[in-house]
Structure 1
Amino acid sequence: MPPRETTRKEAADSSGTITHPEYIKASQDPARNVYDRSKIPADVDFIIVGSGVGGLWLAAALSKLKGYKCVVLEQHYMAGGLCHVFTHKGYEFIPGVHYIANKEVCGGLLELVSDPSTPVEWQLQGDATTADRRDEEAYRAHHGDVLAMDVAGGHAGTGAACSHEVVIGDLPKMSIRGGKSAVIDELVRVFPNEREAITKWIDLVDRVKWLPGIFMQSKGMPRWFQPIWVALLCGQYLKYAGATADKVFNDITDNPQLATVLSAFAGDLGENLREGSFIMQSAVIGHIMEGCWYPRGGPPQLTRTVIPTITKAGGGVFVSAKVDEILVEHGVATGVRLANGDVLKASKGVVSAVGLRPTFDKLLSRDVVRRYLKKEAARVDRYSEGAISHVYAFVALKGSAEELGLKSSSLYYIPWNTSQPMEASSIQDHYRSTLLDPSVEDVSAGMLFPTAKDPDYSEKKHPGRSVCIMFSEAIPEEFEHLKDDVGGVESKLLSEEYSGVKKVIERKLINALLHNFPHLKDHIEFVEVGTPMTAYRFLRRFDSLGLRHTPARMTDMDLRPDCSVRNLYFSGQDIAFAGWAGALTGAMIAATRILGYTPLDLIRGKDLVTDLGGAELMKVMAKKAGIKTV
């Protein structure tokens, strides 16, 4: 479990004066503004629970457009949700955001609500280190014709830069680069007899990857108009969102090895091909084909650039502010009660951006759910069943990214040997179910080096040091019983069983790391293991990615930002889909609904993005989605 922060008492000298340099630095960080009742304005318009991008972007949009005073409350010691970092023994670890795809739109939307004085500088993945550039040069030397095809076809992506590598058993390592032709060429290199199927699959992915955005925006419209919107604009979306990835793939080819390669990216959504919606699989692969980016300075920069917009309107973002309950009086959300007993009121509404399941299970009283939100709660339970969690290894490495020859690309590893029967979904299920079995040595894992993704890490912040983040899917139910065994997830007491579980996880993940990067063996300084219990402590849920991405969930029009409790709204990934971009989309939907945009506004050319100053960005988004604009 990540270590705690230094307390104010520990940071002070005998006279009470703060002297600890790290504490002083943290106290000046807008992402670490500790809650105090005296800091809260008297006339709060909106209270937003949760400071991930789903909460912050929404608060900033409301602040910028209407001057609303928004108070964002975060229980953690650092704002940003999964954009936060933690420091241990002089190393900084990044648990959440690993890449941002489709920077043109996602970065553009972030910029609309950001402070111009704190812009985000983006680093292209696959073009950050010497090892990256050697890889690029080698690719250009042998595949210049493929890059030319992408440029000519309007799919230039990010050229030769490699954002992801895929290693499956004894198959050749595959490098995923920006550009449709480059991806097709790489897959055909490994599966030369499958060119027709691969081309058909990638063409379909490229065609449908923007469709989710159109469907999601229907949720921001009045309820009466949503079915009309969907009927007019979302026919193709419903077709492919309502089909599993397995079904669509099997209509194209019956090659199980190729399916397993493509399933490597399904892990970004926590679904296997058999159960996951094809449309979301397409969105992940499709946007990765456009190239991936990372914020220089780390994911907290995505948080720090937005906070000033909120504070300039009189609001604020506060940490160490755990909300115990959203208060509902006579069917109207009026405020929140904090864990310390403070009651804060909001005149216009309360927004939960912490996920639907934690909201219904932890933040709303049983009486409120029973009286007003019974159907919504049942829907959330249905789409939560079978959701997966993750385990993590945070690996400290001696040596800079350059010294260790690290690349900025992420690597997905499935150790299944091709001589064994290969069915993608069954392989995924196997590694989930055997994660805690010490007799099974292998584990499927993702691994990445934030040190290599962000040149500032080794150059400015932590010279001579690197970190690796590893993750693997886990079944939440295998950990839930440990809550009581260790005195609850808030307790520091570690039982013998839990310690043993962490040792098994560490051994398996480090074996996977050294299988792919054997030269790192003598550079490992220490390893910290995170489990679903860690996630529960910080996210109030065991599942890592919120609601599932099944066909039923992805075609459900009732997962909206509004509900039958007046002035209660929901934001973030559960309103849209998982990930940073999904949470951002959820925030846009929530802002659209809260601000009351109507079909008449759309006819007049009035919409949220345009009103925020993004008229040109709106045209780009419409073009990508295949919608004609005037």
Structure 2
Amino acid sequence: MVQSYKQKPDLQERYDSIIIGSGMGSLTTAAILAKEGQKVLVLERHYTAGGFTHVFKRKGYEWDVGIHYIGEVQRSNSILKKLFDYVSNGNLKWADMGDVYDRIIIGDTSYDLVKGVQNFKDKLVGYFPDERQAINDYVNLVFSVNKSSKNFYLNKALSPLISAIIGRFMRKPYQNYADKTTYEVLRTLTNNEELIKVLTGQYGDYGLPPKQSSFPMHASVARHYFSGGSFPIGGSSQIVETIDPVIEAAGGTILVNAEVDEIVVKNNIATGVRMKDGTVFYAKKIISGAGIMTTYKKLLPKASVVKHRLDNQLKKIEPSVAHSCLYIGLNGSPQELKLPKTNFWIYPEKGDHDSIVEKYLANTDEEFPVVYISFPSAKDPDWSNRYPGKSTIDIITLVPYEEFEPWNDSRWKKRGQEYEAKKEKIALRLLEELYKQLPHLRDKVDYYELSTPLTTQHFVNYEKGEIYGLDHSPKRFRQKFLKPRTPIKNFYLTGQDIVTAGVGAALFSGVLTTAAMTGKNILKKVMQST
């Protein structure tokens, strides 16, 4: 049954804009359009809104599915902070994670990544005293690349005519970096493989190890956290909770349990959407935040895909990695259990990231190539008000979709004993990784549940359960079609596929999409807002 995110809505047949999906890109697009006076309908196929920003509850616990930490929101003048304030009317609040946001653990050795650029450099020099020059050069390069990214992305919002005239000049500085892998660039700065392994210890934030990822993707993540990490106070459900009133204020609605069957296209003009139950909603503009692959393969009419050869575009991009997440509930408050706010990134001692991944993909019984441990209940100062005497932990690792492909045709929660046994084996291995780091938690675990790539496929509608949409390889940044405008009139894209992985990028995609739709300088408006 179609229902409103909050209450029984007064549904219209016609809207100014309809947005498919309710992830961060869609919510941002909807809120900005609402502030431009538009009545927007947001359609979410699942029973909960928010995409990777939603939470789920089980057995007296609550887990954040995709938000583990956000950078840049402690700086009041940062684009990201301004944007979050703009789309939530300043109602979304953040808690600082403290000095150490990430701990890179390689074998038995730990390296802390600390907030503040000079602190970050000093700490690394303490670990690698002979690499001072390389570390300074690295930080300077990260800033240079990020500076060049602004024009690269703003070009995506320009009209085709203006982009044809000046687009190449806007893209070129960034693409000079984007054509190189992270490893290629870092090897020009240092030969120290351990330092490279530490500097790229956050590669799980974008999914590709250093010899495969495009350097600007790495640089944007590194830069994103130089000022530290933060967590939404009240949990990531606050993102939808604070954005929904902005959409409603202009007469818009977020609908859940509202699955779109097909985008209605007539004479190459998008005019509406047909729902699974046959209902048709109409709008002047249609936007998909469902990901380019899902949009072109499942939502657009076949005739439109064939006409514009959109399937050829899809051959030029690859889906990103799939993963499993172990959601753990514990008896005891974060304080009682001495849970840190710092994230742990755990890697095998021997080998570089790429060779470790390769070894694991050949045999998933090998050591996990990366284990990420997050302590959301410790990061959220409001947690104990909601769940006294309880705590949660998330543990994420790389799991190829192919491992669970045999159960592709089964239904969520009804996939059978063999599937559950496979999940249990992975869950127990991940629990051991936790106990290695925090042995005192061994008898505190009350409940745990493992998601698989099929879980992600079920909830996010990504074909192979990928976590970050598209791969962030050098090839990806050469694809000019990854932008808001499509060859179909009045039909647009938003979300991480038109920018890069992560909540911050999806947030910024909303700026690009609304700028392309309205022809207005949305970014200027956001930056001038109070």
Q: How does the TM-score come out when normalised to structure 1?
A: 0.80
Q: Does the 8 A contact of 2:357 with 2:369 survive in 1?
A: no
- 1:443 shift after superposition: 5.3
Larger of the two Rg values belongs to structure: 1
* Cross-structure match for 2:80: 106
* 1:231-258 alpha-carbon deviations (Å, 9 max, x no partner): 4444321111111111111111222222
1:113 partner SS: helix
* Cross-structure match for 1:170: 108
Structure 2 counterpart of 1:33, one-letter code: K
* Cross-structure match for 1:493: 414
- 1:463 shift after superposition: 0.3
User: Which of the numbers 39, 51, 54 marks the counterpart of 1:84?
Assistant: 54
- Mapped partners of 1:60, 1:355: distance in 2: 19
Q: Does the 8 A contact of 2:369 with 2:398 survive in 1?
A: no
Q: Does the 8 A contact of 1:390 with 1:531 survive in 2?
A: yes
User: Which of the numbers 299, 323, 329 marks the counterpart of 1:396?
Assistant: 329
The structure whose residues are more often strand, as a share, is 2
User: Which of the numbers 110, 127, 132 marks the counterpart of 1:195?
Assistant: 132
* Cross-structure match for 2:92: 120
User: Which of the numbers 27, 42, 45 marks the counterpart of 2:13?
Assistant: 42
Q: Does the 8 A contact of 1:324 with 1:336 survive in 2?
A: yes
* Cross-structure match for 2:374: 448
1:559 aligns with 2:482: yes
2:340 partner SS: coil
Structure 1 counterpart of 2:276, one-letter code: A
- Mapped partners of 2:216, 2:452: distance in 1: 29
* Cross-structure match for 1:365: 301
- 1:558 shift after superposition: 2.3
- Mapped partners of 1:226, 1:434: distance in 2: 46
Quick one: structure 1 residues 580 and 91, their matched pair in 2 at CA, closer, same or farther if it must change by over 3 Å?
same
- Mapped partners of 1:411, 1:493: distance in 2: 33
1:533 partner SS: helix
* 1:131-152 alpha-carbon deviations (Å, 9 max, x no partner): xxxxxxxxxxxxxxxxxxxxxx
The gaps in structure 2 that reach 5 residues or longer are none
The gaps in structure 1 that reach 5 residues or longer are 1-6, 9-26, 127-160, 598-606, 618-630
Alignment of 1:19-168 (within 5 A): 32-33=5-6, 39-65=10-36, 67-103=37-73, 104-115=78-89, 119-126=91-98, 161-168=99-106
Alignment of 1:180-579 (within 5 A): 180-346=117-283, 348-372=284-308, 374=309, 376-384=310-318, 387-414=320-347, 416-417=348-349, 420=350, 422-435=351-364, 437=365, 440=366, 442=368, 444-458=370-384, 460-484=385-409, 487=410, 490-541=411-462, 542-579=465-502
Q: Does the 8 A contact of 1:48 with 1:55 survive in 2?
A: yes
* 1:411-455 alpha-carbon deviations (Å, 9 max, x no partner): 1111x22xx4x22311233344443x3xx3555210111101101
2:196 partner SS: helix
Q: Does the 8 A contact of 2:182 with 2:215 survive in 1?
A: yes
* 1:485-519 alpha-carbon deviations (Å, 9 max, x no partner): xx3xx354223331222022102211111111111
588-597 or 201-210, which deviates more: 201-210
Q: Does the 8 A contact of 1:102 with 1:288 survive in 2?
A: yes
Q: Does the 8 A contact of 2:25 with 2:507 survive in 1?
A: yes
1:403 partner SS: coil
- 1:378 shift after superposition: 2.2
1:565 partner SS: coil
Two-structure CA RMSD over aligned residues (Å): 2.0
Aligned residue pairs total 524
512-521 or 492-501, which deviates more: 492-501
Q: Does the 8 A contact of 2:86 with 2:529 survive in 1?
A: no
- Mapped partners of 1:578, 1:223: distance in 2: 25
- Mapped partners of 1:336, 1:43: distance in 2: 11
* 1:183-233 alpha-carbon deviations (Å, 9 max, x no partner): 222222222222222222122113322432321111100112224444444
- Mapped partners of 1:69, 1:57: distance in 2: 14
- Mapped partners of 1:398, 1:443: distance in 2: 29
- 1:398 shift after superposition: 0.7
- Mapped partners of 1:199, 1:491: distance in 2: 49
Q: How does the TM-score come out when normalised to structure 2?
A: 0.94
- Mapped partners of 1:209, 1:425: distance in 2: 24
- 1:535 shift after superposition: 0.3
- Mapped partners of 2:361, 2:63: distance in 1: 24
